[in-house]
Amino acid sequence: MIQNVRLGWSVAILSFSCSTFAETVKLLELDWSSQRVLTHVLADILESKNVKTEIIAIPSTPQWMYLSTGKADIQVEVWEGSMGPQYQSLLDKALIEEGGTHKAKTREEWWYPDYVEALCPGLPDWKALEKCHAIFAEPGEQFGTFYTGPWEKPDNARIRALQLNFKVVVLPDGDSINQKIHQYVSKKKPLLIFNWTPNWVESTYPGSFVEFPPYSAECEKDPKWGMNDKYPWDCGNPTGGWLKIAVSSGLKDRSHCAYKAVQKFQLTNSDVALAAALVDINKLDVPSAAKEWMVQRNDYVRQVQQDIDCR
């Protein structure tokens, strides 16, 4: 009888261990090319270590709800400029964890093609926009147009604080931004649009970021900081920003192997730019781009696989 009880407990423990190891790790695929490709790359690496994965494709906005409630486990590209405040808020509340910090350094800012400087003397200094906003206006409009994507950016607050004669037009995703850049550059049409680095654009179309007053954390919250003492955000976005991986607070307990893999998955600027270019320039679909990325970064992928300790 005692032996049967012990056997029963042994079977139960073994069953629990196997089901825990077999839990599916859920990765978020968002709405810009490099993030989508690198999500598939990490999923392939996890599968190679016998970790079951599921990729959930959603827009950027609900990512925090998914991560903080455990509906998803991993987001491979958290950018400081557009996602830093929400990321830090959830981190402080222990609703998510930092999975790791990439080697890449980032910048997200208003950007223009190089031919625009001849039409707007004084660029990249932001003050030049005060005099030449009209060249960025659509027909019949009195305000210049700044195009951006569906990410958490303070562009309207900056326009108000710096008293710029611009309006913000929000495009639905990264693909729409790419199409807008291709369309305007092909016609040499004045363009002011949200861009970021690392990205494919810098290797294809010469251009520059607008240089706003330098970023400071006080600029976000304290109206007394900076040139406008009535409103916050009279500054640019961070330069040399971080790029992190966010994970759910329960990932470490549910999949030690996946948690270790995330910590080893550290990418450079060229790694991220390649992921974007394979889709946006080479026109590969996302799964094919992920496979090609792994071929071109074969030594790195092998090293990551070797370094992951799933014991």
Question: Residue 136: which domain range?
Answer: 107-221
Question: 172 with 81, same domain?
Answer: no
pTM tops 0.95, yes or no: no
Same domain, 117 and 217: yes
Query: Which of the 8 DSSP states describes residue 212?
Result: P
Sequence-separated (6 or more) residues with CB below 8 Å from residue 17: none
> Is it the case that residue 150 has pLDDT exceeding 70?
yes
pLDDT in tens, 209-257: 999 999 998 998 899 999 999 999 999 999 999 999 999 999 999 999 9
33-48 vs 286-296: helix axis angle to the nearest 10? Answer: 70
Q: Computed from CA positions of residues 5, 11, 13, 15, in that sequence, does the dihedral angle turn out positive or negative? A: negative
What band does 6 get if pLDDT is binned at 50, 70 and 90?
very low
pLDDT band per the 50, 70, 90 thresholds, residue 24: very high
* C-alpha distances in Å from residue 214, one per residue of 128, 156, 168, 179, 233: 16, 18, 21, 30, 11
Predicted pLDDT of residue 12: 41
Q: Identify whether 111 is part of a domain.
A: yes
Are 98 and 168 spatial neighbours (Cβ–Cβ below 8 Å)?
no
Kindly indicate the confidence band of residue 297, based on its pLDDT and cuts at 50, 70 and 90.
very high
Instruction: Give how many domains the chain has, as a whole number.
Output: 2
Contacts of 10 (CB under 8 A, 6+ apart): none
Tell me: do 253 and 215 sit in the same domain. no
Over 70: is that where the pLDDT of 8 sits?
no
Domain contains 236: no
pLDDT for residue 232: 96
Domain check: are 248 and 294 in the same one? yes
Q: What pLDDT digit, counting tens, does each position of 71-92 carry?
A: 999 999 999 988 998 999 999 9
Which residue type sits at 25?
A: V
pLDDT of residue 94: 98
Is 33 in the same domain as 84?
Answer: yes
Residue 6 is assigned to a structural domain of this protein = no
Q: Tell me: do 65 and 120 sit in the same domain.
A: no
Only one residue has tokens 């994970």, namely 247
Q: What is the CATH number of the domain that holds 148?
A: 3.40.190.100
Q: Which pLDDT does position 182 carry in this prediction?
A: 95
By percentage, how much of the chain surpasses pLDDT 90?
86
Q: Could you tell me if 30 and 81 lie in one domain?
A: yes
| Closest CA relative to residue 209, chosen from 118, 130, 81, 107 | 107
The answer to whether the CB of 83 falls within 8 A of the CB of 152 is yes
DSSP state of 32: S
Q: Which of 167, 159, 168, 166 is nearest to 228 (CA)?
A: 159
Q: How far apart are CA 295 and CA 292, in angstroms?
A: 5
Do residues 262 and 307 make contact, with C-beta atoms less than 8 angstroms apart? no
Q: How far apart are CA 90 and CA 86, in angstroms?
A: 6
pLDDT value at position 22? 62
Q: How many CA atoms lie within 13 A of 76 on its CB side?
A: 31
Rg (CA), the chain: 23
Percentage of the chain modeled with pLDDT above 70 = 93
Report if residue 233 sits inside a domain: no
Average pLDDT, the chain: 92
Query: Is position 88 within any domain?
Result: yes
pLDDT mean over 119-140? 97
Q: What is the CATH number of the domain that holds 288?
A: 3.40.190.10
Q: What is the pLDDT of residue 2?
A: 36
Asked whether residue 27 falls in the same domain as residue 38, the answer is: yes
* Cα-based distances in Å from 278 to 108, 213, 227, 307: 21, 34, 42, 26
Same domain membership, residue 159 and residue 118: yes
